[in-house]
């Protein structure tokens, strides 16, 4: 997809992460998910200037839900709104990414421990399927599908943790970092380490080992 494609939200390609309630949610909320997915995909590179008209035309939707989606994304730190000029995707540096990873790591430890205590058999099956999908994405070697599969794996765990407040706090800054990861790829040995970590997480949740 390129930046001139007309892509109405109701008929858009499936989102790259769970959106079971998408048709029951407001247009601006679905649009927010779509914009985040497209940021990660590189449709909107970091530093892009996103006007209301540009986004409305691209997604085949009126400007009102675009405006609401941008306000929501501004609250999450994904965009910076400029008066009468739409919004800008900020550039990020190593310090920003390090801070996000530190924060995300602390919250994820809490969520994964909760998932180990609370996951139902169906939720455990979802986690295991997501882990298998991640391994398939790693075998393919393309950074963008790996990033999306990683996000889906963690979201399956978050769903079992039952703490939407913590999830919202953590995901607020993840889109920009994931876009960098999708664009730049992974360093030597990073994917092998991630695979081992994912397998360990699944095993700990399966045996109800919150500390593990």
- Cβ-Cβ contacts under 8 Å for 177 (sequence gap 6 or more): 92, 96, 97, 100, 101
| Coil/strand/helix, residue 50 | strand
CA dihedral 203→209→210→212, nearest 10 degrees, is -70
Global pTM value: 0.77
What pLDDT does residue 21 have? 43
Read off the pLDDT of residues 136-190 as tens digits, 9 standing for 90 and up: 999 999 999 999 999 999 999 999 999 999 988 887 778 898 999 888 888 899 9
CB 160 within 8 A of CB 208: no
Say whether domain 94-206 belongs to CATH 1.20.120: yes
Read off the pLDDT of residues 86-119 as tens digits, 9 standing for 90 and up: 899 988 888 988 988 898 889 999 999 999 999 9
Output the CATH code of domain 22-88: 1.10.10.10
Domain with CATH 1.10.10.10 in the chain: 22-88
- Torsions phi, psi for 25 (to 5 deg): -105, 160
What pLDDT does residue 9 have? 38
Structure tokens belonging to residue 67? 């405006």
Domain with CATH 1.20.120 in the chain: 94-206
- For the cut 90, the answer to whether the pLDDT of residue 68 exceeds it is yes
> Distance between CA 20 and CA 98 in Å, rounded?
32
In total, the chain counts a number of residues equal to 212
């Amino acid at each position: 997809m390129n930046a001139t494609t007309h892509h109405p939200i109701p008929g858009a390609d499936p989102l790259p992460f769970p959106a079971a309630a998408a048709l029951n949610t407001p247009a601006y909320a679905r649009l927010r998910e779509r914009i985040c997915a497209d940021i990660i995909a590189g449709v909107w590179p970091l530093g892009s200037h996103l006007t209301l008209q540009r986004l409305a035309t691209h997604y085949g939707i009126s400007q009102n839900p675009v405006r609401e989606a941008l306000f929501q994304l501004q609250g999450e730190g994904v965009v910076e709104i400029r008066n009468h000029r739409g919004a800008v995707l900020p550039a990020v540096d190593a310090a920003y990414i390090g801070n996000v990873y530190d924060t995300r790591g602390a919250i994820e430890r809490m969520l994964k421990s909760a998932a180990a205590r609370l996951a139902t058999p169906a939720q455990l099956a979802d986690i295991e399927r997501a882990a298998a999908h991640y391994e398939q994405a790693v075998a393919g070697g393309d950074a963008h599908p790996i990033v999306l599969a990683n996000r889906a794996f963690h979201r399956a765990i978050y769903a079992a943790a039952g703490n939407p407040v913590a999830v919202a706090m953590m995901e607020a800054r993840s889109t920009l970092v994931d876009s960098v990861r999708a664009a730049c790829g992974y360093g030597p040995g990073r994917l092998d380490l991630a695979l081992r970590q994912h397998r360990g997480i699944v095993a700990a949740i399966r045996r109800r080992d919150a500390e593990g």
